[in-house]
Amino acid sequence: MTLILGLETSCDETAAAIVRDGRYVISNVVAAQHKLHERYRGVVPEIASRAHLQNINPVLHETLDQAGVTLDDLDAIAVGHRPGLIGSLLVGVSAAKTLAWSVGKPLIGVDHVRAHLHAATLLPIKGSDPVSKDSQNDPGPLAFPALGLVVSGGHTSLYRMTSPIDLTLIGSTIDDAVGEAYDKAAVILNVGYPGGPKLDKLGQQGDPTTHDLPRSMLGKDSLDFSFSGLKTAVLYTVRGHPKGRGAAARFERSIDDLSEKHRIDIAASFQAAAVDALIKKLKRAAQHMAEHDEPPRSLVIGGGVSANSLLRTRVAELGEQLGLTVRIPAFDYCLDNAAMIAGLAYTHYQANDFADLDLPAIASGSV
């Protein structure tokens, strides 16, 4: 039995978790910062890093208490050290280094984006007793090769996966991530913060066929994404086309001029367009892998947007259509969390892939 403590502070969630043997979550504690950033309708890096400093010790103690273990019981300390907000990352990386040095445990650096895909394999347990339907119906480890999609506020990336840590990037966004598009559409529609889940809930009530919003496919063989045009289309649908140029430009109307039904239908139409683009590229990527003699056996989704209701439904339908096993994280493991960090760290642990105490925090890039 291998117990790994994971720390995650890449953006605005301070998280710690203890995972057994890479998949079984003993404890998982997340301190969110939504209230701190709500007035700005987005994450303010300086505020986020200061909140991590305040939260890291309480979160660490709580996850140890929930698991009923001490630092001496652990086999390794893992931390998400890339990518993310540099000030936020430094808090988690510094804490992990300190813990590893002080208790003499191996240190493991984990790629945050890749950990989102591992989240689909996590199962919550307490001791040896399953505490959820998920853990009672354990589908087992991922079947490789797999096609992975990470969808979040900062990433929209397609991967060919041959193991939990052997990933090849085959497609990514050329402008905005899909989660960023959700957040901006939520601001335009004035649905509140955090925008993604609120827009999802609003869109479920509307007619997605009301507005024909764009699905950017780029080239016929492209596996990349683009969501900037969709954001602009939502803006023009809500406020009309601007008249004039530069500082003198004025829109025809404001969100206050729209009826509630109109607003709900725009939300539904946006969501349909965003998810449709993702599904079409997933289907194209599966065909691409098959044409290169690596047909995927699994379809794996991760990241905050994997909690979206329409995406989860459409991915399940696509998996059935293509004959692929679909793995989507439980809701607790969709958003940033430390269980996914500790879980993926187990693969590094088995390979004796440990980090030195000069492990850097890296703001950009996933390798």
| pLDDT tens track for 296-315 | 999 999 999 999 999 999 99
Separation of alpha carbons 73 and 75, rounded Å: 7
Domain that holds residue 229: 146-329
- Stretch 273-280: mean pLDDT: 98
Q: Where are the beta strands (DSSP E) in the chain?
A: 3-8, 14-20, 24-31, 76-82, 107-111, 123-126, 129-130, 146-151, 156-161, 167-172, 298-302, 325-327
Separation of alpha carbons 295 and 283, rounded Å: 12
pLDDT > 50? residue 130 = no
Q: Are residues 287 and 342 in the same domain?
A: no
For residue 316, the domain's CATH number is: 3.30.420.40
pLDDT > 90? residue 245 = no
Between 240 and 129, the higher pLDDT residue: 240
pTM for the model: 0.92
- CB under 8 Å to 151, separation ≥6 — which residues? 177, 178, 179, 278, 301, 302, 303, 304, 305, 306, 311
Q: Are residues 106 and 152 in the same domain?
A: no
Q: Are residues 251 and 337 in the same domain?
A: no
- Token representation of residue 230: 């969709």
Going from the C-alpha of 59 to that of each of 16, 76, 138, 210, 235, the distances in angstroms are 6, 18, 28, 45, 39
Phi (first) and psi of residue 121, to 5 degrees: -100, -5
| CB contact burial 212-242 (16+ within 10 A = b; e otherwise) | ebebbeeeeeebbbbbebbbebbbebbbeee
Query: Token pair 């989102």 is at which residue?
Result: 116
The band of 136, judged by pLDDT with boundaries at 50, 70 and 90, is: very low
Q: Are residues 176 and 59 in the same domain?
A: no
Q: Give me the pLDDT at residue 366, please.
A: 59
Separation of alpha carbons 23 and 340, rounded Å: 9
Q: Are residues 102 and 155 in the same domain?
A: no
- Token representation of residue 294: 């690596």
Q: Give me the pLDDT at residue 365, please.
A: 67
Q: Give me the pLDDT at residue 139, please.
A: 72
User: Does residue 360 sit within a domain?
Assistant: no
User: Does residue 357 sit within a domain?
Assistant: no
- The residue type of 2 is T
Separation of alpha carbons 263 and 248, rounded Å: 27
- CB under 8 Å to 322, separation ≥6 — which residues? 283, 286, 299
pLDDT > 60? residue 288 = yes
Give the model confidence (pLDDT) of 166-224 as tens digits. 999 999 999 999 999 999 999 999 998 888 899 999 999 999 999 999 999 998 899 99
Separation of alpha carbons 31 and 295, rounded Å: 40
Domain count, the chain: 2
Q: Give me the pLDDT at residue 134, please.
A: 43
pLDDT > 60? residue 124 = yes
Q: Are residues 57 and 88 in the same domain?
A: yes
- Stretch 275-291: mean pLDDT: 97
Q: How do 325-327 and 298-302 pair as beta strands? A: parallel
Q: Which of 134-138, 285-289, 356-360 has the lowest mean pLDDT?
A: 134-138
